[in-house]
Chain A
């Protein structure tokens, strides 16, 4: 999914950086006493900064619209799921959850339709991260006490999805999980 290209991009950039630094280091090692170093450094610095600025601007304009806050913002969800996190479980329900005696139920969601998760926490901060069938993180949101975060998503593939806690919440954080199915 999205992670693979990110890793490739990073490794490529890290590789280029390493090559540039090595090249510059070697050029110093090989330099004769009389050599003058970089010619026109001010001009080169200017172009270097300008190109970097342009690249960054392109990246910003290209990526900002994909931010989760804008995804499906003007659609109406076909289904709403209430989520309450508590050390160290998740309660998922199609009805509103009573904080005093939270209960959850098995959740089945339609494929290709917009789902909204209304996520909160009953104690500390937790994370609500959805992993697909092949254990890839596909989306996430925080579960914060006193606030409700709305996460919208359209599941394309039917199957079982896992929820892992992605905000450190104490001694059993690593075991805090739940799941639901998409049909």
Chain B
């Protein structure tokens, strides 16, 4: 009974995320076309689309990861259905409020809404800022309830030490913490921490808004809070995807399940620390930030890549190398996604080097690398889960003939779209420019090329969507 309800709400998540994804990609293509001067939008329209695109994308891939983790967690512990429903309702309401603020109110402070820009916008409706802040509050509360609920359920079955898999540091541990539980726990802590930072941030915004100028915030503190929230949530949603891979990769490949060992436990415990301090790399160009924090930023960014590569990537290599496994769309998406994650990570490590950052910061290099590990990394992790989920309850699990086509289009479209960003970044072209100054003659043609490849990517997503939505609807409307 319980599991049928969970099944149904998960299929609602899958369909919701995919529809919002298609809308957001379309906004992305429109942005690239505008930068390519193929279409001509007003700057305010462009920047409000940028805001909608960025926040919707972050939001949907976060909830996609959460929904997948919630679904799989049922294998180990009882999760709260109510929390899942609350999160769904709050997400839908939050997104509708956000879209009203951006599409109608023309709120356009970008997804980072860096203080004090939301208070000093020109060309936006006066009510838009408050509605925007309210929309984030709704999303934040819904997600906080969900993640706290999942974490408390874990802690009902496992002690804190077990949830962190500390017993694996000793020889022959009596209880095994499944990797899935360990990673979920580590990730949920990070999620909760950054959502709390978001709450503090929002309270400070409200305080200034309602004090009518009597209370003024400190711009440096607000920037630190903003990126603690923004960077961390963007990273944690990737780890949600990795939790899914640890659980499903071997299973769908027909291989023995991955186990927690001392180095897996160690790697993920370290990851928690590094991921919470790496956000300092967003403030390298603020020279007034204490120097020690800048150094921590580079060290944490570098070190975060060690456990990730040494444990997760290597585990995938071991599972695949010279081993006959069952390849399906699910584990192909996981495998390609891991490659995309690594390549995006390389771009990120290069950018997180302070002496490189000074010529890369806020150029197109930034959207280049984060789109790599999102559009060609984390998104594929979730799509892999979606596909696996959709085939769980149907009789005919025949191999889809769309697999090769989908993957080919995804790869061609994705790589072309990303390369246009990387070359732009190396060419010093700024990010977040609605149109490019004439100093950069290659910028507009490159944007058009990017838009063209992004359209191929969109086609792949549409094929994928039409491939699975019927099965998801069937799960949703099947008699309980």
Chain A residues close to B by CB (< 8 Å): 1-4, 6-7, 9-11, 13-14, 17-18, 21, 24-25, 27-29, 31-33, 35-38, 41, 44-45, 48-49, 52-53, 56, 59-60, 63-64, 66-69, 87, 123-125, 127, 129, 131, 135-142, 144-151, 162, 164, 166-175, 177
Instruction: Tell whether, in the assembled complex, residue A168 and residue B359 are in contact, meaning their CB atoms are under 8 Å apart.
Output: no
B321 surroundings in chain A (CB, below 8 A):
24, 27-28, 37-38
Tell me the bound Cα distance from A48 to B347 in angstroms. 20
The answer to the question of B161 belonging to the interface, with a C-beta cut-off of 8 Å to chain A, is no
Instruction: Tell whether, in the assembled complex, residue A87 and residue B120 are in contact, meaning their CB atoms are under 8 Å apart.
Output: yes
A-B contact pairs, 30 of them (CB 8 A): A3-B426, A6-B350, A14-B346, A14-B347, A25-B320, A31-B324, A37-B318, A63-B354, A67-B355, A68-B358, A124-B116, A124-B117, A127-B361, A137-B363, A139-B359, A140-B285, A140-B359, A145-B219, A146-B219, A147-B286, A149-B288, A150-B287, A151-B287, A164-B430, A168-B112, A168-B114, A170-B121, A174-B43, A174-B437, A177-B437
Tell me the bound Cα distance from A115 to B116 in angstroms. 30
Interface hub of A66, A129, A138, A150 (most chain B Cβ within 10 A):
A129
Tell me the bound Cα distance from A146 to B286 in angstroms. 12
Tell me the bound Cα distance from A167 to B226 in angstroms. 14
Q: How far is the CB of B310 from chain A (nearest CB, A)?
A: 4
| Stretch from B20-28, B150-158, B179-187, B294-302 that touches the partner | B294-302
The residues in B between 421 and 472 inclusive whose CB is less than 8 angstroms from any CB of A are: 422-423, 425-428, 430, 432-437, 439-440
Instruction: Tell whether, in the assembled complex, residue B219 and residue A125 are in contact, meaning their CB atoms are under 8 Å apart.
Output: yes
Chain B residues close to A by CB (< 8 Å): 43-44, 47, 108-110, 112, 114, 116-117, 120-123, 218-220, 223, 263, 285-288, 291, 294-295, 298-299, 302-303, 305-306, 309-311, 314, 317-325, 327, 335-336, 338-339, 342-343, 346-347, 350, 353-356, 358-363, 422-423, 425-428, 430, 432-437, 439-440
- Nearest opposing residue in chain A for B368, CB measure: A10
B286 surroundings in chain A (CB, below 8 A):
141-142, 144, 147, 149
Instruction: Tell whether, in the assembled complex, residue B219 and residue A170 are in contact, meaning their CB atoms are under 8 Å apart.
Output: no
User: Which residue of B311, B320, B353, B423 is within 8 Å of A7 (Cβ)?
Assistant: B423
Tell me the bound Cα distance from A67 to B47 in angstroms. 32
Instruction: Tell whether, in the assembled complex, residue A168 and residue B110 are in contact, meaning their CB atoms are under 8 Å apart.
Output: yes
User: Which residue of A35, A151, A167 is within 8 Å of B322 (Cβ)?
Assistant: A35
B356 surroundings in chain A (CB, below 8 A):
2, 6, 63
Mostly, the A contact residues are mixed
A127 surroundings in chain B (CB, below 8 A):
285, 361-362
A37 surroundings in chain B (CB, below 8 A):
318-319, 321-323
Tell me the bound Cα distance from A123 to B245 in angstroms. 45
Instruction: Tell whether, in the assembled complex, residue B110 and residue A6 are in contact, meaning their CB atoms are under 8 Å apart.
Output: no
Tell me the bound Cα distance from A9 to B72 in angstroms. 39
Mostly, the B contact residues are helix
A175 surroundings in chain B (CB, below 8 A):
437
- Contacts A28-B325, A135-B440 known; 9 new A-B pairs at CB < 8 A: A6-B350, A36-B322, A38-B321, A56-B306, A68-B354, A68-B355, A145-B219, A147-B288, A169-B117
User: Which residue of A2, A33, A38, A53 is within 8 Å of B318 (Cβ)?
Assistant: A38
Instruction: Tell whether, in the assembled complex, residue A60 and residue B299 are in contact, meaning their CB atoms are under 8 Å apart.
Output: yes
Tell me the bound Cα distance from A37 to B250 in angstroms. 14
Instruction: Tell whether, in the assembled complex, residue B355 and residue A170 are in contact, meaning their CB atoms are under 8 Å apart.
Output: no
Given contacts A7-B423, A49-B306, contact A32 B354 (CB under 8 A): no
Q: How far is the CB of A63 from chain B (nearest CB, A)?
A: 5
- Nearest opposing residue in chain B for A14, CB measure: B343
- Nearest opposing residue in chain B for A36, CB measure: B322
Given contacts A6-B350, A18-B339, A144-B288, contact A28 B428 (CB under 8 A): no
A10 surroundings in chain B (CB, below 8 A):
346-347, 350, 422
B440 surroundings in chain A (CB, below 8 A):
135
Q: How far is the CB of B287 from chain A (nearest CB, A)?
A: 4
A129 surroundings in chain B (CB, below 8 A):
362, 430
Tell me the bound Cα distance from A59 to B434 in angstroms. 35
B285 surroundings in chain A (CB, below 8 A):
127, 140-142, 149
B299 surroundings in chain A (CB, below 8 A):
60
Instruction: Tell whether, in the assembled complex, residue A2 and residue B359 are in contact, meaning their CB atoms are under 8 Å apart.
Output: yes
B362 surroundings in chain A (CB, below 8 A):
127, 129, 140, 166-168
Instruction: Tell whether, in the assembled complex, residue B359 and residue A173 are in contact, meaning their CB atoms are under 8 Å apart.
Output: no
Instruction: Tell whether, in the assembled complex, residue A136 and residue B428 are in contact, meaning their CB atoms are under 8 Å apart.
Output: yes
Instruction: Tell whether, in the assembled complex, residue B439 and residue A162 are in contact, meaning their CB atoms are under 8 Å apart.
Output: yes
Given contacts A141-B285, A141-B287, contact A174 B350 (CB under 8 A): no
B303 surroundings in chain A (CB, below 8 A):
56
User: Which residue of B302, B346, B437 is within 8 Å of A13 (Cβ)?
Assistant: B346
Given contacts A6-B426, A149-B288, contact A67 B294 (CB under 8 A): yes
Instruction: Tell whether, in the assembled complex, residue A137 and residue B220 are in contact, meaning their CB atoms are under 8 Å apart.
Output: no
Tell me the bound Cα distance from A56 to B309 in angstroms. 12
B353 surroundings in chain A (CB, below 8 A):
59, 63
Tell me the bound Cα distance from A32 to B324 in angstroms. 6
Tell me the bound Cα distance from A164 to B436 in angstroms. 11
Instruction: Tell whether, in the assembled complex, residue B323 and residue A28 are in contact, meaning their CB atoms are under 8 Å apart.
Output: yes
B360 surroundings in chain A (CB, below 8 A):
3, 6
A33 surroundings in chain B (CB, below 8 A):
324
A56 surroundings in chain B (CB, below 8 A):
302-303, 305-306
Q: How far is the CB of A161 from chain B (nearest CB, A)?
A: 12
Tell me the bound Cα distance from A6 to B363 in angstroms. 13
Instruction: Tell whether, in the assembled complex, residue A31 and residue B322 are in contact, meaning their CB atoms are under 8 Å apart.
Output: yes
Instruction: Tell whether, in the assembled complex, residue A166 and residue B430 are in contact, meaning their CB atoms are under 8 Å apart.
Output: yes
A32 surroundings in chain B (CB, below 8 A):
324
Tell me the bound Cα distance from A170 to B302 in angstroms. 33
Given contacts A4-B426, A52-B306, contact A174 B287 (CB under 8 A): no
Given contacts A37-B318, A37-B323, A138-B359, contact A171 B43 (CB under 8 A): yes
